[in-house]
Structure 1
Amino acid sequence: MQHGKYRFIVGFLALPLGLYALFVIWPFIQSIYYSFTDWTGLSPEFKMVGFDNYRRMLDDEIFWKSLQHSLLFALLLPVVTISLALFFAFMINVGGRKRKNGPAISGVRGSSFYKIVYFFPQVLSIAIVALLFAFAYNPDSGAINSVLRGIGLDGVQPLWLGDPDLALWAVMAVLVWSTVGFFVVLFSAGMASIPAEMYEAALLDGAGRATTFFRITLPLLWDTVQSGWVYMGILALGAESFAVVQIMTTGPGGPDYSTTVMVLYVYQKAFRDGQAAYATTIGVALLVVTLAFAAVVMRLGRRERLEY
């Protein structure tokens, strides 16, 4: 009976695991292999060059800039996005004042409307969001500088995407705006599963909003927060940051490589410069950074599981 059960499980998983190995694991192995060659990506011919690409990468100033920017994305974007999402979700679900003839635990007034507003960016593709903000950041006719002029701040007219000191922060602001709604919905679902009796007991003991959040909501929601942290970090290191930087910035990646991130640099080397082998080398470095980020977050966020 046991033998038949295991045979059924293996048969059930064989096809999904085979597809995963073919379309996920095998490309990783190929990328690592090609990183030791001089393949251009345009010809089937190549030769092994050992660690030459890795030595070149370590001497590449633009690579180090892209690595710095990617690490900044991975460290700051999850902190800002998840902090905002937790605050908004808490206020929408349990942060309201007690009303007469109403439930003891409720969100702020208009919470249903706020849920729609926060989730709205998820309806738009990241390409559309990037285009909209590229127009908004235009220093001459963009909405942001027009508002500044309208309120009398004519002397404050930043170049935004044209300023090397501001461009990266402007891009990060777009990523926060476009992703925070997803985590508001995610955390709201988690908060809805927390028994209302816990909040009511805390209110009877005189706990305020801050105490309720840090002593009840955050500990019981910690597993969801940790998963969201890893997910947001991977988004910041991967496709989301590539799309926004590629569409919004000059170059793209400019000015003066001030917004170049690792995934964009991989794309440029592979498809613009015809240096596929060197691009896969940078891709291997990006893989290591991503895995290290996930491992560190999971290790630092480990704590005793709370049940209710």
Structure 2
Amino acid sequence: MHKGKNRFVAGFLIGPVGLYAVFMIWPYIQTFGYSFTDWRGQSQEMSFVGLDNYVALFGDTVFLQALYNNALILVFLPIATILLALFFAFMVNVGGRGGGIGIQGVRGSSVYKVLYFLPHVLSVVILAILWRAVYRGDVEGLINGSLVKLGISDENNPVEWLNEPNLVLWCVVFVLLWWGVGFYLVLFSAAMQSIPKEIYEAALLDGASRTQSFFKVTLPLLWDTVQTAWVYLAILSMDCFAVISVMTPGNSFGGGPDHESEVMATYLMRNFLSFGKAGYACALGVVILVLTLILSVVTLRISRRERIEY
């Protein structure tokens, strides 16, 4: 009977596992193999070059600049997104006045959730196109036009937001932040709604302020959700391909000006499709994969703590 059950389960699993192996695992294996060759991507002619691609990669100034930009995004984006999403979620769910019906959210909280989540409904490419229009370097752009109307900026000398080396990366990060906060607000709101309101009421009766309630009650009980959000945002920080390739200036896949907004994903695609250096691009892909795996493991280890039950 037990063997029959195992065969029945195996019969259902063999198809999905086989498809996953063919379309997911095998491409990873191929990429790893190609990274040791000088493959150009247009034919199967290639030569084994060993670790030459990896040695060249870590001596490539453009790659190092892209790695630095990814690190900046990694430091800023997860922290800012989680802090803002936690604050808004806390205010929406338990930030209203306490009364006879106990702790409650702000008035119209369901409307706020929809408004905050709305940017996440749109495609990332559509958002990038919209924000590229907002950041236009003439008075027709929303930001420059508003600054001129307010008398803050000169009409004849508008700010080139996406062509300023010191501004372009932060313009991209702001778009990612604006896009992501709503999703994590809804995620944290769902987690907060599972926390019994009696816990908040008991904290307020004991004299705890809203700030103390957040740090002593809400954050510890939401830690598992925050940990998950941190991992996803860290992985997003290692990508950013769609937003940067659409928004920023540069050849084929953005990254300009002068590689100031270059990230590893855009540099990979440029090497693969524009420069014909497929083997080099595969080595870059392997590095991105390894860094992402290490980052995920380290993030989970650092943020791990004892589970709090209620």
Q: Calculate the TM-score normalised by the size of structure 2.
A: 0.94
Q: Is there any run of 5+ residues in structure 2 with no aligned partner, and where? A: none
Pick from 91, 103, 116: which aligns with 1:105? 103
Q: Deviations over 1:63-114 (max 9, x none)?
A: 0001111122222111111111111111110111224x5x311112232221
Which residue of structure 2 aligns with residue 211 of structure 1? 212
Query: Aligned ranges for residues 18-167 of structure 1 at < 5 Å?
Result: 18-99=18-99, 101=100, 103-140=101-138, 141-155=140-154, 157-167=158-168
- Partner residue in 2 for 1:292: 294
The 2-side partners of 1:185 and 1:3 are apart by 45
**Secondary structure of 2:153 counterpart:** coil
Q: 1:306 to 1:13 in 2, by over 3 A?
A: farther
The residue type paired with residue 90 of structure 2 is F
Query: By how many angstroms is 1:151 displaced?
Result: 2.1
The aligned length equals: 304
Structure 1 runs (4+) deviating above 3 angstroms are 1-12
Distance in 2 between residues matched to 1:266 and 1:148, nearest whole Å: 37
Which residue identity lines up with residue 144 of structure 1 in the other structure?
I
2:30 aligned partner, one-letter code = Q
Q: Which ranges in structure 1 are unaligned for 5 or more consecutive residues?
A: none
Calculate the TM-score normalised by the size of structure 1: 0.95
Deviation at 1:197, TM superposition (A): 1.0
User: Secondary structure of the residue that 1:211 maps to in structure 2?
Assistant: helix
- The alpha-carbon deviation at position 2 of structure 1 amounts to 4.1
1:172 corresponds in structure 2 to 173
Read off the aligned partner of 2:262 and give its amino acid letter.
T
Question: Residue deviations 1:227-279, cap 9 Å, x none?
Answer: 111011112212xx101100011101000100000011111000111111100
Q: Report the more deviating stretch, 171-180 or 12-21.
A: 12-21
Secondary structure at the residue paired with 1:161?
Answer: coil
SS in 2 for 1:160: coil
What is the CA-CA distance between 1:307 and the residue it aligns to? 1.3
Q: Residue in 2 aligned with 1:14? A: 14
Q: Distance between the aligned counterparts of 2:7 and 2:309, measured in 1?
A: 35
SS at match of 1:78: helix
1:233 paired residue number: 234
What is the Cα deviation at residue 146 of structure 1?
1.5
* 3-state DSSP of counterpart to 2:162: helix
Q: Are positions 1:245 and 2:244 aligned together?
A: yes
- How big is the shift at 1:7? 3.8
Amino acid at match of 2:175: V
* Cα deviation 1:160-203 (Å, max 9, x = unaligned): 11100000000000011111111111111000111111111111
Structure 1 distance, partners of 2:29, 2:196, is 47
2:195 maps to 1:197: no
Say which is worse superposed, 105-114 or 37-46, in terms of deviation: 105-114
> For residues 138 and 87 of structure 1, what CA distance do their matches in structure 2 show?
31
**2:12, 2:72 → 1: CA distance?**
42
Q: Which amino acid aligns with 1:32?
A: F
Equivalent position of 2:267 in the other structure: 265
Distance of 2:123 and 2:21 partners within structure 1: 29
**Cα 1:144–1:198 shift into 2, 3 Å:** same
Within 1, Cα distance between the matches of 2:183 and 2:270? 30
